[in-house]
Amino acid sequence: MRRYYNGLKTAVLLGLLTGLILTVGYGLGGSTGLLVATVLSLAMNGVAYFASDRIALAAMAAEPVTERQAPQLYTMVRELAAAAGQPMPRLYVSRMPQPNAFATGRNPENAAVCVTEGILRMLSPRELRAVLAHELSHVGNRDILISSVAAALAGILTSLANLALLLPFGSDEEDAPNPLAALLMLLLAPIAAGLIQLAISRSREYQADADGARLSGDPLALASALEKIEHGTRAMPMAQNGSSAAQAHLMIANPLAGDGMTALFRTHPPTSDRVQRLRELAGHHSRRTSAASPARISHLMR
C-alpha cells in the first residue's frame, strides 16, 4: 500500500510540476510562451531519459571498475541484483573523499551504481552491502529516471521565471506579460519548483530505504551506514556551485552543506527520521524472524 501511495504521489507531483511550467510559459508569453515551454519540457525530458546517466557519472568524475579491481564490490552487487531479479548494473568508483553513493540510468537494463572512495573507506562490508541494496532499490523502482525528470522540469521552471527579467513589460503586443504577474512568477516559481522536487525526492528516498532494507535483510546496517555518511558529509560538504552539486538529488545522503532555512529545501529527508524508520522496520523484522536459523543470522552479521 505504501509503495502504491508513493507512486501515485510521485505521478501527481510530476504532473503538477509540468502544469506549472506550462502555466508560467503562458503567463509570460501567452500562446508563444506556452509553445516554448512545451518544447523545452519535451527536450529536457528527452535529455533526462537518454543522457542522465552519462551526465551524472561525468559530473562525479566516476571511473568504471572491473571485477578484478573490486571483487568484493562485484560480489555484493551481483548477489543483491540476483535477489532483486535485476540485471547486473555497471559499477563505478568516484575519487571523491566524501562518503556517498548513487545509482543512475533510465531502467535496470541501463543502470549504473557508483560509490565514492570515501564510502569505501568509511563503511564496514555489512554497511556497504546495505547501501548497495538501497541503490539497487532505486534502480528497480525507476527512481533515477523520475528524479532526473523532476530536476530537469524544475530547472526549466526556474529558467522561465528568470526570463521575466528580459521581457518587454511596456510593450503593447498581445503576448506581452503583465508586470505584476511576471514578478510573482519570478519570485514564486523557483520556490514552487524546489518544493515539488523536494517532495518527490523525499518520497523516493523513504521507499528505497524500506525496499533496500528488505533486500539486504539488514535494516540496522543501513541505519548505521546513514549515520556514518551523515557525519562524513557534514565534515566534507560538497561545493554548492560545482557541477557535481547538480547531482545531489541522486545521492544516498545530501552531500551539500546547509543549516537553518537552507536545510528545509534539501532533497533528502532528515537522516534521523530515516534511521528511526529503519529501526522500527528492524524491530518488526526481528519479531517476524525470531526463529531464524543461526546460520542466517551469522550471514547477516558478516
pLDDT in tens, the chain (302 residues): 545 554 555 566 566 667 777 777 766 666 776 677 777 777 766 776 777 789 889 989 999 999 999 999 999 999 999 999 999 999 999 999 999 999 998 889 999 999 999 999 999 999 999 999 999 999 998 887 777 677 766 767 666 666 665 555 545 555 555 566 566 666 666 676 667 667 777 888 999 999 999 999 999 999 999 999 999 999 998 876 665 666 787 899 988 866 554 555 567 889 999 999 999 999 876 666 554 444 443 343 34
Nearest-angstrom CA–CA distance, 179 and 177:
6
| Dist CA 41 CA 51 (whole Å) | 15
Residue numbering of the annotated binding site = 134, 138, 205
Q: Taking the model in full, what pTM does it have?
A: 0.75
pLDDT for 69 equals 95
Residues 6 or more apart from 222 whose CB is under 8 A from it? 127, 130, 131, 133, 134, 209, 212, 213, 216, 278
In 60-178, alpha helices (H)? 71-84, 117-122, 125-140, 143-163
Which listed residue (135, 173, 174, 280) is catalytic? 135
Residues that constitute the known binding site for Zn(2+):
134, 138, 205
Instruction: Indicate if 174 belongs to the active site.
Output: no
DSSP state of 258: -
> CA nearest 195: which of 3, 28, 7, 16?
16
- What does the pLDDT read at residue 89? 97
Looking at residue 186, its pLDDT comes to 65
pLDDT tens column, 62-87? 999 999 999 999 999 999 999 999 99
Q: Which grid cell sits at 65?
A: 571498475
The sheet with strand 101-104 has its strands ordered as 62-64, 90-94, 112-116, 101-104
